Amino acid sequence: MGSTGSVSSWDEALLTAMIQYPVPVIRGPEDIQVQVDKICKTVDNTKAGYPGLDLIVFPEYSTQGLNTKIWTYDEMLLTLESPEIGRFREACKRNSVWGVFSLMERNEDPKKPPYNSAIIINADGDIALHYRKLQPWVPIEPWSPGNYGMPVCDGPKGSKLAVCICHDGMFPELAREAAYKGCNVYIRISGYSTQVNDQWIWTNKSNAWQNLMYTLAVNLAGYDEVFYYFGEGTVCNYDGNVIQQGHRNPWEIVTAELFPRLVDKARENWALENNIFNLGCRAYVGKPGGERENYLTWVRDLAEGKYKLPWDDKIKIRDGWEYYPDGVKLGPMPK
């Protein structure tokens, strides 16, 4: 177990615990209930072991698994009103702790694929934030693109929380969006196998440094009879340095004590390397107030719906044809 905190915390310290949840093997809806039972029990047990715990985080796919053959069928999906989500809410309220949970969420339009979603539940059992994955992992994940943007909510101990999901963290633009909205603790939940282990850690560090914010990232751990998932919960300081690094052990609890007020003070008082501020007022030494006109071609093109790379015509993989040759299967599971 990795720890940079105690079992208790003081007024300005945000005590966090990330659970390197064992990758669940899901074959049907009954297996989801098993995972919900385990997750709620884990909330109870972790709070008992860390009485001062403020925030507990579970990885992507910890609730409904990664079975690509069945994960978009109706029986495998949840909504915010599902009893399973109600149990997560009860667990947080019962333990007076904030929690981050994963769900594969049914689309409001039954003709469209579901969303890969995350929720933050506060210590009163209320849903404080609802996020839908903006950048599903192509060409494999069949999720609808998220349509809620990058929301930020007030959290405990002066924190301002945002959550991204797995591949989202490879896009510096999303971390910047969260920071631009005031986030000082950026949470990343993921279900990566070992192919991108190093890149996952690098981007956790760069997202923290480039935006002067803490990053909390936790991955599934263990073997699901196909892939191995690397765990390695990573906590990065707002200067980009790793505060705590988990190992590859399923069920390892990675804890850290964070101080959100220090992020706020760094953003207010730093001049050198205050990158998120300097971006919008370039060269304020040579030009008082700085240059504020947009100079980024891709920002303009993206805003106008004209984003296109110089090598766009040469890109070969442009859809999920190899993984879903007949399209994404929706509706009831075949008998």
* Distance of alpha carbon 236 from alpha carbon 240, whole angstroms: 6
Q: Is 133 one of the annotated active-site residues of the chain? A: yes
Whether the bond between 139 and the residue before it is cis, its omega within 30 degrees of 0, is yes
* Distance of alpha carbon 214 from alpha carbon 238, whole angstroms: 5
**Closest by alpha carbon to 213, among 241, 180, 187, 185?**
185
Select which of 47, 133, 157, 205 is catalytic: 133
* Distance of alpha carbon 282 from alpha carbon 136, whole angstroms: 33
| Crossing angle for the helix pair 83-95 and 29-49, to the nearest 10 degrees | 10
326: which 2 tokens? 């007949």
- CA distances to 20, 64, 215, 224 from 229, in Å: 10, 16, 20, 8
Select which of 40, 92, 164, 166 is catalytic: 166
175 in Cβ contact with 211 (< 8 Å)? yes
CA 333 remoteness from chain centre? 28
164 in Cβ contact with 178 (< 8 Å)? yes
Could you tell me which residues are beta bridge partners of residue 214? 185
* Distance of alpha carbon 242 from alpha carbon 232, whole angstroms: 12
What beta strand segments (E) does 192-296 contain?
214-219, 221-223, 228-230, 234-236, 242-245, 253-258
Q: Is 257 one of the annotated active-site residues of the chain? A: no
Select which of 40, 60, 183, 236 is catalytic: 60
Q: Is 111 one of the annotated active-site residues of the chain? A: no
Task: Name 137's Cβ contacts closer than 8 Å, sequence gap at least 6.
Answer: 166, 167
63 in Cβ contact with 32 (< 8 Å)? yes
User: What does the H/E/C string look like for 163-202?
Assistant: EEEHHHHHCHHHHHHHHHCCCCEEEEEECCEHHHHHHHHH
Q: Which residues are catalytic?
A: 60, 133, 166
